[in-house]
Amino acid sequence: MNSIRNYFLMSLASALIAVGVYRLIERPQIVEQQENQRVFYAKYSDKILSGSLQRKFLSTSPTNFTTAADAVTPTVVNIKSIHSGSVDNWFGQSFTTSTGSGVIITPDGYILTNNHVVADGSDFEITLSDKREYSATLVGVDESTDLALLKINAKRLPHIIFGNSDSLKVGEWVLAVGNPFNLASTVTAGIVSAKGRNINILEDQYSIESFIQTDAAVNPGNSGGALVNTNGELVGINTAIITQSGRYEGYSFAIPANLARKVINDIKDYGVVQRGMLGIGIAPITDELSKELDLKTNNGVYINRITPKGGADDAGLKPGDVIVELNGSQINTMPELQELVARYRPGDALKIDYIRKNKRQQANVILKNKNNTTSIVENNEEAENFLAELGFEVRELTKKEKQHATQGGVKVKSVFKGSKIERTNMDPGFIITKINDHPIKSILELYETLKKEEGKIILEGIYEEFTSEYYYAFRK
């Protein structure tokens, strides 16, 4: 029995060895399977299926971003805003700095950026992409759009070309270019996610929010940088992100270039933005309101209030009307209407299409300024210089501050050392509501009242964090 088993095992071993030797000496066989299919190279062809071009993406052509990046990065600068302290300490006067980005828009050194990049700054240092450094002067700001204009003394600078932000389409490729923390430049790519976004970030009572939303990465330090199309044209100024962590999370927002161009032209030409107003209060068209008015769609803007003797009132518009078109542009939302109107000045005529009692009608509205006239608003430089001589700097109240100071007023931004105002012991943040019992609701009223009052001047007002009223007196 054992001899049979041994014989079987020897035979099995011999067979395995033989198979192994055979596989070692045999050449490998290649099995090729062919099918009756045509092979195409992976390249783009203009002739698809029908023999004609299926689709051209003209708005995003070319999609090679290097050309746009090469053109734009030399025009984007780093901005260091230096804030001087209001008090001296043991080590001298204190200073703080903040940084952001800006865009050169002319060869002679005008730079466009965000107002919040330069807010409260006293000196501004500009670093170009090639590391040249300049000191800049602040030409002007517009808090209602969060834009500012700086100027450096230079010539033949690389500068960006303005594009048409109205032509942007959702899904179109864009680049966000910044110069944060003197890192020369950063370029990120994304698409336009939405247009006409209102995120309630601006607090000015005349704020205009109609942001371009993108998913291009924008981080701190990129504020004021350029949003460009793939042709390298400026279509927006990167301004804000929505985030829970403080870092980029996929939502960035830019001010449309068409609006920015109008704002900076006003600042250059007049020293102050000329804001044309329809003279209406507005509300969105909700589904409930649409059914109540028997509208065919939920698009448009509802008029809920008319300013007496304002432009809309003069043109015959009434509460209950629904604006659906402005100068040939369809109006779907409140931000769209606000952005379009903000591109015009007092005295300009707008053609408004509106719906009243299911009938489409048209009116010609002459825009007016915040004083309800058609004249150009003068620069407040004279008023600012007068107030500076007294020893303080003020600004208009934001919408949020007006909820606390319901009687109106102006807010003190800073108090100058050694001035008459400093000797009253007034602190920055004080809201001036009256001067010698005269109500104050604007900087212009503050200036005109102080200019005509003589002798003892009593400034009455409040601080937001306290409930009681405060009084400060000085002699003029």
Residues labelled catalytic: 116, 146, 223
Residue 207: closest CA among 161, 167, 239: 239
> 307 is written with which tokens?
């300013």
AA letter at 195: K
DSSP string, 94-136: EEEEEEEEEEE-STT-EEEEEHHHHTT-SEEEEE-TTS-EEEE
Q: Tokens 């829970």 belong to which residue? A: 244
- Collapse the DSSP code of 396 into the 3-class scheme (helix H, G, I; strand E, B; otherwise coil) and give the result: strand
Count CB atoms within 10 A of the CB of residue 318: 12
* Beta strand ranges found along 208-348 (DSSP E): 211-214, 226-228, 233-241, 252-256, 280-284, 301-306, 322-326, 329-330
Pairing assessment for the beta strands 161-162 and 233-241 based on DSSP bridges: parallel
Residue 57, CA atoms < 13 Å, CB-side half-sphere:
14
* Residues forming beta bridges with residue 306, ordered by sequence position: 280
Residue 377: closest CA among 259, 449, 269: 269
Which residues, at least 6 apart from 91, have a Cβ–Cβ distance to it below 8 Å? none
DSSP string, 23-80: HHHSPPPPP----S-----S---S-BTTTB-----TTT----THHHHHHHGGGEEEEE
How far apart are alpha carbons 136 and 306 in whole angstroms? 43
AA letter at 367: L
Which residues, at least 6 apart from 230, have a Cβ–Cβ distance to it below 8 Å? 60, 61, 62, 63, 64, 65, 68, 173, 174, 175
How far apart are alpha carbons 381 and 238 in whole angstroms? 29
> 458 is written with which tokens?
């009593």
Residue 422: closest CA among 395, 392, 443, 450: 392
How far apart are alpha carbons 359 and 465 in whole angstroms? 51
